[in-house]
Amino acid sequence: MTIFWKKYNELCNEHCVKPRALATELGISAATVTKWVNDGMPNLDMITRIAEYFDVPIDYLINEDDTPIIPQANKKRSVFKSVSSLSQRWVSFRRGSEISLETQLKIIPYVNCTVQFLNNDKYIEYVPEAEYDTDHLKDTETIFDILGILDHCADTESYRIVQVQLSRIVLYHLKEKGFDREALRTEHLDQKKLDYLYTGKENRDKSQNYGLNFSDMDFLREFTGLSYQVMFTGNE
C-alpha cells in the first residue's frame, strides 16, 4: 500500500466519505482509483484536487510524516501554504528520463526560446527570441507539460538540463516583473540552487544543481501573485 493510498483512506474516514465515491465527485474515474489500490500514484492534477478538497498540503499526502493536519474550514489556502519542502521531495516520486521531440516542439514556441537554448548544458542567460506570439497562450495544455517536466526527478543529464533551462526562463520573467535575485531570498527556496541557476556555478552538493521543482513553482506563484503562464511566458 502506498503512502498516498493510506493517507487518502484515512482522510476519507475522518470526513465520513467513501474513497471511490469522493474520487467520482472529483471527476476521477473508477479505473484510476483501482490503479491507486494496486500501488499507483495520482497525477499532479488529481492529487491537487484531493489536497484542496481535504484542505491539506500535497506533501502530507505523499510524505511518511504523520503529523496531524488541522483543516481550516473557514479559510481556503494554497495546498502548499506554510510548507517548506525539501528539494526533490515531491518530484522524486516520479522519474523522468526523456522528453520527446514532440513535447519540446510544443514547449519551445510557448516559452519563446530555441531548441539549442533548451538543451544547452552550459550556463547562458535567457533572452527571448522574438516578439511573443500571444496565440500561443491559447495552448494552456503546455503549461501542464512544463509543470510535468519540473515535477519529475531527472534520471538523465539531458532531462536535468531542460529542467534547468526552463527554470532560468522563469527567473528571467520574475525579474522582469520586479522579483530579482534579492527579492527571492526566502527560506522557502533553496538558495544554493538559486545561485546555481543564476550563475551556472555548480555546488558541491549535486542535488542543488537542478531546476525549480513543482513545490518551488507553487510557492513562487503564491509569493509573487503571478500565474504560471506569466512565469513561463512573461504574458498575462
Percent helix, strand, coil in the chain, to 5, is 55, 0, 45
- Given this model, what pLDDT does residue 153 score? 81
Q: How far apart are CA 7 and CA 147, in angstroms?
A: 24
Is the pLDDT confidence value at 87 over 60? no
* Tens digit of each residue's pLDDT (9 = 90 or more) over 129-143: 888 999 998 888 899
* Tens digit of each residue's pLDDT (9 = 90 or more) over 140-181: 889 999 999 998 888 889 999 999 999 999 999 999 999 999
- Given this model, what pLDDT does residue 32 score? 87
* Tens digit of each residue's pLDDT (9 = 90 or more) over 181-226: 999 999 889 999 999 999 999 988 888 899 999 889 999 999 999 9
Q: Please, are residues 54 and 23 in contact by the beta-carbon 8 Å criterion?
A: no
Among 190, 170, 188, residue whose Cα is nearest residue 179: 170
- Given this model, what pLDDT does residue 66 score? 54
Is the pLDDT confidence value at 91 over 70? no
Q: Is 16 helix (H, G, I), strand (E, B) or coil?
A: coil
* Tens digit of each residue's pLDDT (9 = 90 or more) over 39-86: 777 877 788 889 889 988 877 787 665 554 444 433 334 334 333 333
- Per-residue confidence band for 231, with pLDDT thresholds at 50, 70 and 90: very high
Q: Please, are residues 197 and 167 in contact by the beta-carbon 8 Å criterion?
A: yes
Among 190, 111, 169, 168, residue whose Cα is nearest residue 145: 111
- Set out the domains of the chain in order of their start, with CATH numbers: 3-62 (1.10.260.40), 91-233 (no CATH)
Q: How far apart are CA 216 and CA 181, in angstroms?
A: 15
Q: How far apart are CA 229 and CA 227, in angstroms?
A: 5
Show the cell assigned to 123. Answer: 550556463
| Start-end of H helices in the chain | 3-14, 19-25, 30-37, 44-54, 58-62, 101-111, 115-118, 141-151, 157-176, 191-199, 214-224, 228-233
Q: Please, are residues 83 and 59 in contact by the beta-carbon 8 Å criterion?
A: yes
* Tens digit of each residue's pLDDT (9 = 90 or more) over 6-42: 889 999 999 999 999 999 999 888 888 888 887 777 8
Measured from the Cβ of residue 127, the count of other Cβ atoms closer than 10 Å reads 10
Average pLDDT over residues 109-123: 92
Q: How far apart are CA 29 and CA 23, in angstroms?
A: 7
